[in-house]
Chain A
Amino acid sequence: MNELATIVATATPLVYATIGEMINEKAGVINLSLDGSILLAAMVGFAAAVASDSVIIGFLAAIVVSVAIAALVAFSSIELRLNQIAVGFVLFLLARQLALFFGDSYVGQVGPKVPAWDIPLLSDIPFLGVVLFRHNLSVYGSYVLVIAAFFVIYKTRIGLVLQGAGERPEAAFARGIPVNRLRLLATVTGGALVGVAGAAVSLDQIAGWRENLTTNLGWIALAFVIFGGWHPFRVAIACYVYRGLLFVAGQFQEELPEFVQVLNTLPFLLMILMLTAVNTQWFRRLGDNHPRWRNFLASDPPSAIGTVFARD
């Protein structure tokens, strides 16, 4: 039971990051800077929290940083019609180096941490109470986010319009939808969640700052958006299963010390396997054979992903 609670807690930053990236990809924008963005957000969030002795200020500072990066990706794609991959990759390297450059003096410092808070009543439920409701606001926020993302994307008009901007921007535009403004909004929203992911690492999960604190979380998140088929529930399940697998593998570490290196590369071997699996013919047919689960089992990206939408 405690093990499951640990898995839920450690998956939290990944859930924020994947859902955030999923939102901007739904609208057709890839933010490839994710990995650098999370690291810089974690560093700035930690620095701000140390300076102000306030976790809330830390989260806000992290959000500001990654929103700025996301806005730059959106601006250069929408206004300047630049390649999203190129700009995103440069920003990945740049954000990473900036985090190392400014974070140098914060290594090893102790900062504030999100306080634990059991939800009254819910935390008394047998089993589920311990697993899900004895954490803190950062973890609870991720549950709300996954459910909210599902309802907004599949059950509201704005969600439908958002998907339109990512699937058929010309058709959406012809129907009077401001495609590019919507894309900017989605990218900034995704960026804000990436900031939360970074702060959730440096102010909660690991609580501190060191080089490579977020251990390539951003690349894993980018892969899980694909593996999760751009569906909030599938994306979230992927995050929890992944942390579960890592937890199980971690148990072997004590018995087999040589296993450590294999363990460190395990996430990436899993990543390749997962991406290959969702692209097999078998998996593709699965979605066609079960129309009721079509959204959940889809494996195709939004059709207009990564492209520039120009009106003229």
Chain B
Amino acid sequence: MMLRLAQWRTALVSLVLAIGITLLLLVLVDAPPLEALRLLWDGSFGSDTKIADTLMAWVPLVVAAAGLLVTFQAGLWNIGVEGQIIMGAIGASWVARSVTGPSWLVVIAAFAAGIALGVGWALVPGTLRTVFRVHEIFSGVALFFVAGGLAIYLIIGPWSRAGIASTSGTDPFPTASWLPTIGRLRLSIVAVVVAVMAVVAVAVLLRGTRYGLRLKAVGRNPASAFLMGIATSRSMLSAFAVCGALGGIAGTVQAIGFHHKLVPSISGGYGFLGILVVLLAGFRTAWIAPIALFFAAILVGSTQLSLRLQIDSSLAGVVQGVLVLLILLTGGWQARRTRIAEAEAET
């Protein structure tokens, strides 16, 4: 109970510090800080269209974060999830552009293709790690850049708009492939339901199944897990596959649920941001959804901010980064104090 209280305190201190640093940054670039905070709120929750946009940013973010929980449970740093999102979007775009039929069929096929490419792209660093001992961080980052290059190649090459090859994106997909939205809002109920299902599924998988327990054993101590008869390589590969599938879903939602075309920045940074969400949540599943919502709100709100106050929209990333860094540091500081106090109590 004491520990919990201490944790809340460090979280609160970090939040206050992060807000303070944000205000300081705003002052540094000559922006009115309080006005900026109000615009941030208005831009993310101010109206039903803004809430819809925030939710549509929440979906890929929370799905990616859920996938990352699985790889983190197995002790893996699947930074390449960003590339897996891109590949998912490419798969979905391919279906949306080429398959004709009833809307439900095209959407299901798009999800299937997105998942397939996401899994395939995740199995590459998985194989390199388990067979060649190449660390997944480096192969993952490299494959992210390769996937990004592939997306741009498709956009200006084979899938370019008639007459003009520009990096602004492909032609919009046929409307049959679009996820249905509510009225004039950009909110898709299907996308939100898929995201909720993904988070619940991962929670059950990690907490309530033998599979989740095995992954945990592999993550904590691969050598002893292996001696206990767990096929460590296969467990790691399966964790990569699950995360790749969820990355593929996030990419599919980005392609057929939000942009309705393939654009160069289709992954939206949600994979990297998902890692921050998981770190901030301290690897706890229950915290993923609210933290992802908070981050999505900052992200969507900051575009409004940059339009109105002429500030670079990277402010969102700065705020998120500062907050996660402070949480890590204050958490470490708290642990250090406990450690010192215990050492003194012993002597």
Binding site for B on A (CB under 8 A): 32, 76, 79-82, 85-87, 89-91, 93-94, 96-98, 100-102, 104, 216, 219, 222-223, 226, 258, 261-262, 264-265, 267-269, 271-272, 275-276, 279-280, 312
Contacts and interface: CB of A to CB of B under 8 A. Distances in A.
A82 B332 contact: yes
A90 B325 contact: yes
B141 A90 contact: no
Contacts of B275: 89
Nearest to A310: B339
Of listed A80, A91, A264, residue having the most chain B CB within 10 A: A80
B324 A219 contact: no
Contacts, number: 121
A197 B315 CA distance: 25
Of listed A102, A261, A280, residue having the most chain B CB within 10 A: A261
B309 to A, nearest CB: 12
A76 B328 CA distance: 9
B276 A222 contact: no
B323 to A, nearest CB: 10
B132 A276 contact: yes
B116 interface: no
A275 B132 CA distance: 9
A96 B269 CA distance: 13
Contacts of B150: 261, 265
B332 A94 contact: no
Interface in B289-347: 311-312, 314-315, 317-318, 320-322, 324-325, 328-329, 331-333, 335-336, 343
Contacts of B343: 312
Nearest to B147: A265
A79 B148 CA distance: 38
Given A80-B335, A258-B157, A265-B150, A275 B134 contact: yes
B184 interface: no
Contacts of A222: 138
Contact of A91 (B149, B315, B325, B336): B325
Nearest to B312: A104
Nearest to B321: A94
Contact of B317 (A32, A85, A93, A275): A93
A223 B276 contact: no
B213 interface: no
B17 to A, nearest CB: 14
Pairs A-B, 3 closest by C-beta atoms: A80-B332, A94-B321, A97-B317
Interface string B136-158: 01110111011011101100110
A160 B336 CA distance: 31
A268 B146 contact: yes
B37 interface: no
Contacts of A76: 328-329, 332
A89 B138 CA distance: 12
Contacts of A89: 77, 79, 275
Contacts of A97: 314, 317-318, 321
Contacts of A87: 325, 328
Contacts of A264: 145, 149, 152
Contact of A265 (B149, B272, B322): B149
Interface in B76-91: 77, 79
A82 B143 CA distance: 27
B318 A94 contact: yes
B205 interface: no
A96 B321 CA distance: 10
B326 to A, nearest CB: 10
Contacts of B210: none
B153 A272 contact: no
A76 B312 CA distance: 30
B228 to A, nearest CB: 23
A112 B69 CA distance: 47
B69 to A, nearest CB: 14
19 contacts: A76-B328, A82-B328, A85-B137, A90-B324, A90-B328, A94-B321, A97-B317, A98-B314, A100-B312, A100-B314, A101-B29, A101-B312, A101-B317, A222-B138, A226-B135, A264-B145, A265-B145, A265-B146, A276-B128
B279 A90 contact: yes
Given A81-B336, A87-B325, A93-B276, A276 B134 contact: yes
Of listed A81, A94, A276, A312, residue having the most chain B CB within 10 A: A94
Nearest to B315: A101
Interface in B252-279: 272, 275-276, 279
Contacts of B333: 80
A275 B139 contact: yes
Contact of B321 (A93, A267, A276): A93
B25 interface: yes
Contacts of B4: none
Of listed B29, B150, B321, residue having the most chain A CB within 10 A: B321
A219 B144 CA distance: 12
Nearest to B145: A268
Contacts of B328: 76, 82, 86-87, 90
A85 B75 CA distance: 12
Given A90-B276, A90-B328, A101-B315, A275 B321 contact: no
